Amino acid sequence: MKYISTRGRAEKTGATRAIIKGIAEDRGLYVPEGFPRLKESWTELASLEYKEVAQLVLSCFLPDFTQEELAEYTGKAYGETFEHPRVAPLVRAGNVHFLELYHGKTAAFKDMALSLLPYLLTASIRKEKEDKKIAILAATSGDTGIAALKGFEDVPGTEVIVFFPEEGVSPVQKQQMRTAEGSNTHVAGIEGNFDDAQRGVKQILNDENFAAEALAKGYKLTAANSINIGRLLPQVAYYVWAYARMVESGAVKAGDPVNLVVPSGNFGNLLSGYYAEKMGVPVRRYLCASNRNNVLSDFFRTGVYDARRPLYTTNAPSMDIIVSSNLERLLYDLSGEDGAAVDAWMQALQNEQRYQVGGKTKEGLNRFYGGFATEEEIEAAIGSFYREQGYLMDTHTAAAYKVYQDYLAETGDDTPAVITATASPYKFAGSVSRALGLPVAEDEFSAILQLAEKTGVPVPAGLQNLKERPVRHTRTVAPEAMSDTVMHTLK
């Protein structure tokens, strides 16, 4: 298994090198040159623990690692750091199944990959005989940041540097990052939005002069965002796991399709489901849910990606994104691996903030249904579903549920649906409390206590007493100062 660039001009490389590099030399994203099919039956897969499913999936993509190594890494990643014994339980509520991906250290789905990436990255460094330290950069719309900080906390040979929009994350997300521990963790808010942060990180990673200067200081640069293939591949495992659980429960017969409903910002989560289908998970439709920043839903409807629009700050901030990086990987696949076409589209996006696909690429978009929910619709969905079903959703999951209900009303397609529940409701306690009609709390942290008292839903350990933790990171910078911030951090 080799890895190739979505833009078609970089040389093939092995898994370890792709994980270390993060982005290819031609500025494309690494994708596997092929997709192996699962050999095990769904009955066999349903008998496995989560860590075993993850090991099996990753072994298909990462031949540079031995089975013993992958067993060790998945065992450590998906062990005591997750509060639920099944790691990612599948919960039936109403007419859907929720795949709960938020039982890790930071109470969001990013833990599913970022609990494992440090093992893959440090092992890759060892296998490639790298003698440099690794500087891991992350732009975050809320959850990737703290998951990267926790995942790489005090990992030898690494420094992790996170940028987040100062006014574009929830108070809980901000406090998680500002209080992050570890001698190798560094955090900076930026005076801008997530797209500014992501653009800045990409520019740093693509700057040859910056890379040379960092190398002179003893560092190689890589990414913790899902632009790194090492971040993306572990997410494929939970869709394989979810389908096995659906078969086990009798919700579907083995081989019958499901619909996947995913709240999407940077598109890595939904793309992982698409990759799982290429491995053998039967999927009928992909439902891509957005908030008011609905560039993706417009794209799936029209084939036009138009970033010339304002970015709204919403109650589902992890989806406050206009430029979805992982869409590039989908376009590469749908275009028949036409790197030149992908490169042209990405150049048009950079220069004109717009591109349009046609032909078989646009035809491939028909598998996807895009929808969105306003802030009011998100809170209405949270409140009504809790009253009717006793199930508590966070704002992102609620956007997905609302889009699923719209899809059902529009199409009548009653294919069993799996909704990815991407974060604990307590990460957005103010909005969720308001949705339940609770009194306005003094602050987000008081809202956590109020919400717990009302619902009886346990507060994740990582969010308990969050307000009292000492703030260690106070820096805020302009987007144009990001590169200087990184360089000054690399001592």
Look at the block and give the residue holding tokens 């995913």. Answer: 262
> What is the pLDDT at residue 142?
81
Tell me the C-alpha distance between 303 and 300, whole Å.
Answer: 6
Tell me the C-alpha distance between 387 and 371, whole Å.
Answer: 24
> What is the pLDDT at residue 207?
93
User: Percentage helix, strand, coil, to 5, in the chain?
Assistant: 50, 15, 35
> What is the pLDDT at residue 225?
84
Each residue of 246-275: pLDDT tens digit?
A: 999 999 999 999 999 999 989 999 999 999
Tell me the C-alpha distance between 225 and 327, whole Å.
Answer: 14
Q: Which of 111, 93, 112, 176 is nearest to 392 (CA)?
A: 93
Determine the longest span between alpha carbons in the chain, in angstroms. Answer: 60
DSSP state of 23: B
> What is the pLDDT at residue 134?
93
Structural domains of the chain, ranges and CATH numbers in brackets: 90-104+230-458 (3.40.50.1100)
CA dihedral 429, 431, 436, 439 (to 10 degrees): 80
pTM of the model: 0.95
DSSP result, 234-303: HHHHHHHHHHHHHHHHTSS-TT--EEEEEE-SSSHHHHHHHHHHHHT--EEEEEEEE-S--HHHHHHHHS
Strand partners, 288: 262, 370
Per-residue pLDDT of the chain (491 residues; tens, 9 = 90+): 999 999 999 999 999 999 999 999 999 999 999 999 999 999 999 999 999 999 999 999 999 999 999 999 999 999 989 999 999 999 999 999 999 999 999 999 999 999 999 999 999 999 999 889 999 999 998 889 999 999 999 999 999 999 999 999 999 999 999 999 999 999 999 999 999 999 999 999 999 999 999 999 999 999 988 889 999 999 999 999 999 999 999 999 999 999 999 999 899 999 999 999 999 999 999 999 999 999 999 999 999 999 999 999 999 999 999 999 999 999 999 999 999 999 999 999 999 999 999 999 999 999 999 999 999 999 999 999 999 999 999 999 999 999 999 999 999 999 999 999 999 999 999 999 999 999 999 999 999 999 999 999 999 999 999 999 999 999 999 999 999 999 999 98
Buried b / exposed e along 284-314 (16+ C-beta atoms within 10 A): ebbbbbbbbbbbbbbbbeebebbbeeebbbb
Tell me the C-alpha distance between 327 and 268, whole Å.
Answer: 8
